Amino acid sequence: MHLFVPAQHVIWKRLDIDAPIGLATGTKITMIAFAPSSVCLGKLASAQSLDYQMAPPKKEQKKCGWKKAVKVNAVANISFRPNTITAQCPLMLASYIWLGEVDKAAQKYLGSPLKKVHHAGTYSCRRQRGNRSGEWSEHAFANAWDITGFELENGQVISVLKDWHNSSSAQARKKKKFLRKARKSACRVFRVVLSPDYNAAHKDHFHLDQGPSLSCR
């Protein structure tokens, strides 16, 4: 195994964040999340194409904020709408790997590379489901990202809200298949992935986080 199996499938080999997702990729990201922050930041620094800088520490109320996070402008040729994201390192590590897979899926199913990710942000100082009591959301720590859609280089826009259930045409079915492929690959690198199949509150976005729970829905 050590000699012939690709590193992404073997737990004891180092994580290559520019390699395809493998059987051991998600576990390796989780292990890095529990290591000192310098380990994760070192992995980000090894990325072939990642435009980012360190974000200033943030403290809000008693729980919210972060000690170390990164502000990301682009992943390869993929930008964001709104135009930047601020995330804790393990979340960005998983996102970098995942976006590479999403780009491949866009080219395979829709015939064009991924240009832009539409999103609703990573940070919000709130509890889960917006409640005033209960567990804090991973958004309170910039450890979650809500994706609302994707934009391709050829101008196509894929919306989670409009295209998740749409089978009205051949092109609509391609978009639907692309979105399900995006969710499936997300489940291999993020701890929690929630889609429109989870509940009505997620009808218009994917929720991706690196918290302690484990769910793919």
pLDDT tens digit sequence for 134-160: 889 999 999 999 999 999 999 999 999
How many other C-beta atoms are found inside a 10 Å radius of the C-beta of residue 137?
23
Distance (Å, whole) CA 81 – CA 112: 18
Radius of gyration from C-alpha coordinates of the chain? 17
Inform me whether the pLDDT recorded for 201 exceeds 90: yes
Architecture of the domain whose range is 54-216: 2-Layer Sandwich (3.30)
Neighbours of 72 (CB within 10 A): 22
Residue 33 reports pLDDT greater than 70: yes
Is residue 217 within 8 A of residue 197, CB to CB? The reply is yes
In the predicted structure, residue 132 carries a pLDDT above the cut 80? no
Cβ count within 10 A of residue 3 = 4
**What residues contact residue 212 under an 8 Å CB cut-off, 6+ apart?**
191
Cα 134 to chain centroid, rounded: 25
Q: What is the pTM of this model?
A: 0.95
- Residue 183: the pLDDT is 98
CA dist 7 and 10 (Å) reads 5
pLDDT at 62 over 90: no
Residue 2: pLDDT over 90: no
Tell me: pLDDT of 129 over 80: no
With a CB cutoff of 8 Å and minimum separation 6, the contacts of 184 are none
Could you tell me the two tokens for 205?
């976005």
Give the C-alpha distances (Å, rounded to integers) separating 42 from 6, 47, 85, 93.
Answer: 21, 9, 19, 10
Cα separation of 126 and 81, whole Å? Answer: 22
